[in-house]
Amino acid sequence: MPLLFLALLACPVSPDSGGETAADTGSDTAADTDTDTGVEEELTGAELYEAHCSACHGDDGTGVRNQGPNIVPELAKLSDDQIVEIILNGKGRNEMPAIRVTEEEAQRIVDFMRESF
Ligand code: HEC
């Protein structure tokens, strides 16, 4: 009987040391994740359009009912600078809101629309 009791007492010791190893691995993984986030910051024009415009103007620019008009015919009439201006400042009275992207990102969206629509 006393021998069995000792064996049971010995058991809880090993999970403790295992726990420390797991904690070290955890912090390494967290550092890796931070680095990844920095690299992903640069979004393509397609990704930016999808995130900021497609809900109102549709995936192909032809518009969404009650949200935004078909902009494909308008794009041909507007210069890059005029479109960037519309993106950054919005258009109409509360019709199209100013979109929160940088001027550089707005230009990337224009490039995407000119290539794809
Ligand atoms: C919340 C809905 C909404 C979002 C989001 C939105 N738009 Fe618009 N957009 C509109 C509406 C509504 C108009 C029409 C405004 C007017 O003429 O009064 C418009 C007008 C435009 C026009 C001008 C068309 C013309 O007649 O001259 C362009 C170009 C345009 N949007 C591009 C974009 C781009 C690019 C994005 C993303 C960066 C975007 N819009 C995001 C609703 C939206």
The structural domain count of the chain equals 2
Q: Is the CB of 90 under 6 A from ligand 1?
A: no
Give the three-state DSSP class for 71. coil
Residue 94 confidence class, pLDDT cut points 50, 70, 90: confident
Write down how long the chain is.
117
Residues 33 and 49 in one domain: no
Residues 20 and 57 in one domain: no
Calculate how far, in angstroms, residue 88's C-alpha sits from the geometric centre of ligand 1: 11
Q: Is the CB of 84 under 6 A from ligand 1?
A: no
Residue 39 confidence class, pLDDT cut points 50, 70, 90: low
Distant-in-sequence, close-in-space partners of 93: CB < 8 Å, separation ≥ 6: none
Q: Is the CB of 110 under 6 A from ligand 1?
A: no
Residue 99 in this model has a pLDDT that exceeds 70 = yes
Q: Which structural domain, as residue segments, surrounds residue 110?
A: 45-116
Query: Which of 71, 87, 114 for mutating ligand 1's site (highest number of atoms within 8 Å of CB)?
Result: 71
| 49-53-59 Cα angle (round to 5) | 70
Residues 25 and 53 in one domain: no
What mean pLDDT is reported for the chain? 81
Calculate how far, in angstroms, residue 43's C-alpha sits from the geometric centre of ligand 1: 20
pLDDT of residue 36: 53
Residues 89 and 106 in one domain: yes
Residue 11 in this model has a pLDDT that exceeds 60 = no
- pLDDT over 70 percentage in the chain: 66
Which DSSP helix (H) or strand (E) runs through 6? helix 2-10
- Following CA atoms 10, 11, 17, 22 in sequence, which dihedral angle do they give, to the nearest 10 degrees? 180
